[in-house]
C-alpha cells in the first residue's frame, strides 16, 4: 500500500539532490583508458551449468543475476532463468553447493540483498535475503518461509532489474529499479511502497529512452546505473556509450553525474574494489552487461581503465551481471565475485576476480 509518512519523506528528502551539475562538470570528461600500465587480474570460473566450463556444474545455475552474502555465510545466487536461489560455500580453490534451494515466488529474480536489520519482517522474523523480480515482485526469505521466498511487496506493471538496501537514521529502505517505468521504487522497513516527492532519484539531464537499470549503496552514496530501453521498455539495448551512472548523496541536496557514455555499455554491476586490487584499490568498478567489461573509476568519477588479464587483454565476461566483494569465509577478502548469463542469458557462470600474481 502506498502512503506518504512525514518521517519517511523527511528521510527521503536527504537521499537525492534536485539539480544536476552542468555538463562541463559531469563525471567521465576524459575517456582515455589508462589501464595499460595498471594491475592485472585473473578470472576463476567456479560454477556453471555448462559441462567443463567451471569447477562445479549445476544445471540450476541459469542466468545467475543478483549475488548476496552475509559476513560469515555462503554465497546466495538469484537465478533468473530457473527462478530459484542456489547457495554455494567455498572460494578460489573450489566451491560446494549447499542443500538448500529456494524457489522465488513469481520467478525471474534479478537483484538480491542480505538483510542485516531487524526490519522487513516476514513470517514472524526479519527476512534474511530479499529479492527483486522482473515480474514486479519483491520477495523475502528466512527459515520460517521454508524453501520459498514469498511475495511481500511489488507494483503492477513494474519490471524490477536491481535492488539495494539503504540504511538511514530513519530506518532501512529497499530501493528497486523499475526499468519498464523508468523510476526507482522505495519500500520502507514494513515493505510499504512510498510515494516520493517530485524529483527524487531523478536526473532530468538523462536522455529520454534511458531508465534505471541497477542501484547500489556504496559508502554513503546511492549509485544508479542507466541503460537504454528497447521498444517495449522491457529489456536493455546494448551498445558502446549507451549508459550513465548517477551518484546520489544520502545526506545533502546534491547529486551529480558520475559517469557518462564513453566506456559504458548497459552498465549494471557496481562495487568498490578491495584494497588488494592494486592500482584500482578503492575505485568504483562498473560492470557492463553489454560487452562484459569491468571499468574502474576514481571515487570522483574519473575513468581509469578496464580491468585486464595478465596478457593485457581486457576482461570480458559474456552477460556480466553482479560484482560483489568476497568475505573472509566466502571467496576471500581479496576477491570480487561475479555472475553472468552467457549466450544471451541461456546459460550461467559464477566465479571470482583476483589480482594476478607476479612471476
Asked if the model's pLDDT at residue 337 lies above 50, the reply is: yes
- CATH tag, 6-355: 2.120.10.30
Average pLDDT, integer, range 260-278 = 98
Asked if the model's pLDDT at residue 319 lies above 50, the reply is: yes
Which pLDDT belongs to residue 331?
A: 98
Which pLDDT belongs to residue 138?
A: 99
Average pLDDT, integer, range 4-33 = 44
Which pLDDT belongs to residue 345?
A: 99
Lowest mean pLDDT among 11-15, 180-184, 257-261, 305-309: 11-15
Which pLDDT belongs to residue 243?
A: 99
| Per-residue pLDDT band at 34 (split at 50, 70, 90) | low
Top-confidence residue, 138 or 201? 138
| Entry pTM | 0.91
| Per-residue pLDDT band at 37 (split at 50, 70, 90) | low
- The answer for residues whose C-beta is within 8 angstroms of residue 191's C-beta and 6 or more apart is 120, 138, 140, 152, 153, 174
Q: Are 290 and 17 spatial neighbours (Cβ–Cβ below 8 Å)?
A: no
| Per-residue pLDDT band at 1 (split at 50, 70, 90) | very low
| Per-residue pLDDT band at 32 (split at 50, 70, 90) | low
Average pLDDT, integer, range 212-231 = 97
Element spanning 98, H or E: strand 94-104
By DSSP bridging, strand 41-48 and strand 56-57 are parallel
Which pLDDT belongs to residue 199?
A: 80
- The answer for residues whose C-beta is within 8 angstroms of residue 45's C-beta and 6 or more apart is 53, 54, 55, 349, 350, 351
Which pLDDT belongs to residue 208?
A: 97
Average pLDDT, integer, range 234-258 = 84
C-alpha span between 38 and 306 (Å, rounded): 9
Asked if the model's pLDDT at residue 30 lies above 60, the reply is: no
For the stretch 168-210, pLDDT in tens is 999 999 999 999 999 999 999 999 999 888 788 999 999 999 9
Average pLDDT, integer, range 53-66 = 99
Which pLDDT belongs to residue 297?
A: 98
Q: Is 12 helix (H, G, I), strand (E, B) or coil?
A: helix
**Mean of per-residue pLDDT scores for the chain:** 91
Amino acid at each position: 500500500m502506498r502512503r506518504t509518512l512525514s518521517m519517511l519523506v523527511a528521510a527521503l528528502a536527504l537521499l537525492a539532490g534536485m539539480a544536476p551539475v552542468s555538463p562541463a562538470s559531469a563525471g567521465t570528461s576524459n575517456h582515455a583508458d589508462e589501464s595499460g600500465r595498471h594491475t592485472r587480474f585473473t578470472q576463476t570460473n567456479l560454477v556453471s551449468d555448462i559441462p567443463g566450463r567451471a569447477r562445479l556444474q549445476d544445471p540450476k545455475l541459469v542466468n545467475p543475476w543478483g549475488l548476496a552474502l552475509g559476513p560469515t555465510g555462503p554465497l546466495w545466487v538469484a537465478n533468473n532463468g530457473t527462478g530459484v536461489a542456489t547457495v554455494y560455500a567455498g572460494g578460489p580453490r573450489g566451491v560446494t553447493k549447499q542443500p538448500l534451494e529456494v524457489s522465488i515466488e513469481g520467478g525471474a529474480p534479478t537483484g538480491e540483498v542480505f538483510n542485516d536489520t531487524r526490519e522487513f519482517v516476514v513470517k514472524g522474523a526479519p527476512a534474511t535475503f530479499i529479492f527483486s523480480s522482473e515480474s514486479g515482485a519483491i520477495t523475502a526469505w528466512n527459515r520460517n518461509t521454508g524453501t520459498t521466498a514469498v511475495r511481500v511487496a511489488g507494483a503492477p506493471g513494474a519490471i524490477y532489474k536491481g535492488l539495494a538496501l539503504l540504511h538511514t537514521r530513519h530506518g532501512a529502505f529497499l530501493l528497486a529499479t523499475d526499468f519498464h517505468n523508468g523510476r526507482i521504487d522505495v519500500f520502507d522497513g514494513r515493505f510499504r511502497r512510498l510515494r516520493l516527492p517530485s524529483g527524487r532519484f531523478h536526473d532530468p539531464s538523462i536522455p529520454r529512452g534511458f531508465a534505471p537499470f541497477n542501484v547500489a549503496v556504496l559508502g554513503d552514496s546511492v549509485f544508479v546505473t542507466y541503460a537504454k530501453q528497447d521498444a517495449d521498455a522491457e529489456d536493455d539495448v546494448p551498445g558502446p556509450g549507451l549508459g550513465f551512472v548517477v551518484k546520489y548523496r544520502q545526506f545533502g541536496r546534491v547529486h551529480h553525474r558520475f559517469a557518462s557514455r564513453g566506456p559504458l555499455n548497459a552498465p549494471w554491476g557496481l562495487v568498490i574494489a578491495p584494497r588488494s586490487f592494486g592500482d584500482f584499490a578503492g575505485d568504483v568498478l562498473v560492470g557492463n552487461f553489454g560487452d562484459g567489461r569491468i571499468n574502474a573509476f576514481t571515487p570522483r568519477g574519473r575513468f581509469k581503465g578496464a580491468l585486464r588479464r595478465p596478457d593485457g587483454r581486457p576482461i570480458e565476461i559474456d552477460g556480466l551481471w553482479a560484482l560483489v566483494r568476497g568475505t573472509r569465509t566466502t571467496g576471500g577478502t581479496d576477491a570480487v565475485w561475479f555472475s553472468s548469463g552467457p549466450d544471451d542469458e541461456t546459460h550461467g557462470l559464477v566465479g571470482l576476480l583476483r589480482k594476478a600474481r607476479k612471476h
